[in-house]
A = this chain, B = another copy of it.
Amino acid sequence: MSALSHVEAVPHVMTIAATLGEVPADLKTIAAWGCYGSSVITGVTAQNTQGVQGVHEIPTDFVMQQLESVWSDAMPRAVKLGMLTSKPTIEMLSGYLSGQMPQHQGGPFLVLDPVMISTSGHHLVPPEAVAAIRDELLPHVDWVTPNIPEALALARRESEVSSLEDMLTLAAELSESFEVQTTLLKGGHFSAKREEVLELQARKSITLPLSQGSSRTLEIAVEWEEWDDEGEGAEVLATYCASIDAPRSPDLVVDMLVRRKGDTIQLFVGRKIDTSSTHGTGCTLSSALACALAQTPAPIGSDSMERDTAVARKAINYVRSAISGAYPLGKGHGPLNHAVLTAPRPLPSPTPANPHPFMTHLIQSDLGLWKSYVKHPFVVQLGQGTLPRECFEHYIKQDYHYLRHYARAHALGAYKSSTFEDIEAFTDIAKHIARESTMHVGFCESFGIGLPEISATPEAAACAAYARYILDVGGQGDILDLYMAVASCLIGYGEVGLWLRKEVDAGRAKLEGNPYKRWIEDYSGPDFIGAVNRGIERRVAADPPSPERLARLTAIWQECVRLERDFWDMGLKRLW
């Protein structure tokens, strides 16, 4: 089974949240990150892009029963906690999480999106639930991702945020006063200016008064979405944007990351995107964080500011791409484009249950054409031993010429290689073909055709067309194009060899008394079939081609199959 890269198990990430507002966005995010998503429903909402029209709360017991069902069967590696409106559910959940995972040793990562206040300022959660989230739930989670109004509510502050320094203070205070390890304060509610960020960056550190009268000093680290603090290095791209009228807001959004006992506050600075497609931004970010955490290998010491910065960067960049790539839907705030970083894959990976998807695709792409090649009358008559000698002679002389070019094509493959492994594989085949040609010569001699006669024979059009097509594909394209051009000869001759063997067994072809016995034996022998088996799926399993690339490879394959068929035609009809 070593030839097959069986699909790896993917991390399991769960969302505990309400439909429709959250769970679909969460599951789409988890799918886009290549994780397995499960969900526990805390409430069902009647909702669209314009708002929430109704809420149906799921009873606490049934929330817990859902959780038990999944966890007892398949423990997730990370959990995103979303909208929780019921105090009993929050308390039950807190108890479960704290009992299940003492100090989170080995339990899933927990990311809490403390959904409380909507973008438009509506309070979505009753005050007693806010208190329960803050006092009961927060101590048991690893990450919390409030927006500015939610952070103010958690910090029980009435004041507004009117500067980046206010935001810094708020983030530091939150991470100080609660047990939660990592706080990511989302800056979407505050438009920052470039000068303000540069000023903070120049200060390098900040000492903040804390509510208890003490103070905390934090180093300020700044990461810019594009280029760097100088804002320079890409005049060409600014000019390009202007040339295509791409809108560029001067406003910036700053997200802030701080750890409970950390000495650094990390700022992520991005351009504000001018769009109404922002529905589910918070869900998407918290789910993306859960996925990034689930995908992080967790050796000792990896739980660090470096890890958290890398995790936050990946998640924030994903959300930015999903907002940038959104298209309009509905009459209000439309959804993000969660699939912005996924592409259709035209072929699955080989698995034990589906071991050769690429070769299957090629053969199925035009089954009639393929059969016109591998079951050509030339082949049928060859198997029965009824093929006229002069047809075979004409074919074998041309095949000698073809083999010379076929060997050259493999030498070209070696030239096109980037690794010694490929260089060796291609030169081995070139050498093997050179050896095959001496077998050809010996075989021809047994028919009374000497090497001088073979060499002196001009190339027929079918031979020249096919051989030169392969060499041209090799010259024009890369190593994969060339591999595709040489594959149908290898695979097809193996097919002919194996099929004729089967026909012999079924009594529809014969070896004994067949003048072409050795030909059949050569192309069905372990040496040749070994090369065929090594060729199948070889170049595409690791990095499957894009749809457009696959279409081009398929076109090369089909052209070669057609030229192979015409090669038999040339032999059978003794064409020039």
Interface residues of A (CB under 8 A from B): 1-4, 6-10, 12, 19-20, 23-24, 27-28, 31-32, 34, 36-41, 44-50, 53-54, 56, 58-59, 62, 65-66, 68-70, 72-74, 226-228, 232-237, 239-241, 243-247, 273-275, 320-321, 323-332, 335, 337-346, 348-349, 351-357, 359-360, 363-364, 367, 370-371, 374-375, 415-416, 418, 475-479, 481, 491, 494-495, 498-499, 502, 529, 532-533, 536, 542-549
Contact pick for A491, options B70, B236, B325, B344, CB 8 Å: B236
8 smallest CB-CB distances across A and B, nearest first, come from: A48-B73, A324-B354, A235-B498, A543-B548, A343-B345, A324-B353, A46-B65, A478-B478
> Is chain A's interface secondary structure helix, strand, loop, or mixed overall?
mixed
B73 and A46 contact, CB distance less than 8 A: no
Q: A342-B345, A543-B546 are in contact. Are A62 and B46 (CB under 8 A)?
A: yes
| B227 near A367: Cβ-Cβ < 8 Å | yes
Q: Which residues of B contact A38 (CB under 8 A)?
A: 20, 24
12 new A-B pairs (CB below 8 Å) besides A24-B37, A341-B344? A7-B325, A9-B329, A27-B31, A28-B31, A34-B339, A44-B66, A54-B66, A234-B360, A234-B363, A235-B502, A236-B495, A237-B360
Which residues does chain B contribute within 8 Å of A326, judged by CB atoms?
7
B48 and A335: CB pair below 8 A? no
B245 touches A340 (CB 8 A): no
User: A244-B4, A341-B348 known; A53 and B69 CB under 8 Å?
Assistant: yes
Q: Given the interface contacts A478-B478, A495-B236, does A44 sit within 8 Å of B41 by beta carbon? A: yes
Contacts of A327 in B (CB 8 A): 6-10
Residue of B nearest to A32 (CB): B31
Q: Taking the nearest CB of chain B, how far is it from the CB of A346, in angstroms? A: 8
- Do A44 and B27 touch (CB < 8 A)? no
Chain B: minimal CB distance from A113 (Å) = 19
Q: Are A325 and B337 in touch, CB under 8 angstroms? A: no
Residue of A23, A234, A327 with most partner-chain B CB within 10 A: A234
> Given A48-B70, A245-B1, does the pair A544, B546 have CB atoms closer than 8 Å?
yes
User: Which residues of B are found within 8 Å of A415, using beta-carbon distances?
Assistant: 475-476
CB-nearest residue of chain B to A235: B498
Q: How far is the CA of A552 from the CA of B352 in the complex (A)?
A: 30
Which of B62, B349, B374, B533 contacts A233 (CB under 8 A)?
B374
Q: List 28 A-B contacts (CB under 8 A).
A: A2-B244, A3-B243, A4-B244, A12-B329, A19-B41, A36-B335, A44-B58, A46-B68, A48-B70, A48-B74, A53-B68, A73-B330, A226-B364, A227-B363, A239-B494, A239-B498, A239-B532, A240-B532, A244-B355, A247-B353, A275-B353, A320-B354, A323-B353, A324-B348, A340-B349, A342-B345, A343-B344, A542-B548
> Is the pair A342, B340 in contact by a Cβ cutoff of 8 Å?
no
With contacts A31-B32, A351-B324 known, is A65 near B74, CB below 8 A?
Answer: no
- CA–CA, A7 and B532, complex, Å: 42
Oligomeric state, in number of copies? Answer: 2
Partner of A352, one of B27, B69, B247, B338: B247
In contact, B73 and A273 (Cβ under 8 angstroms): no
Residues of B within 8 A of A227 (CB): 363-364, 367
Smallest beta-carbon distance A32→chain B, Å: 7
Q: Cβ of A544 and Cβ of B24 under 8 Å apart?
A: no
Give the chain B neighbours of A536 by CB distance below 8 A: 236-237, 240
Instruction: Give complex CA distance A544, B321 in Å.
Output: 15
Q: CA–CA, A462 to B3, complex, Å? A: 44
A371–B235 Cα distance when bound, in Å, is: 12
Look across to chain B and name the residue whose beta carbon is closest to the beta carbon of A345: B343
Max chain B CB contacts within 10 Å: which of A45, A53, A235, A326? A235
Q: Write out the residue numbers on chain B whose beta carbons fall within 8 Å of the beta carbon of A232.
A: 499
Pairwise interchain contact A237-B3, C-beta atoms closer than 8 A: no
List chain B residues, Cβ under 8 A from A416.
476-477
Q: Which residue of B lies closest to A356 (CB)?
A: B237
Complex CA gap A58/B57 in Å reads 10
Shortest A424–chain B CB gap in Å is 17
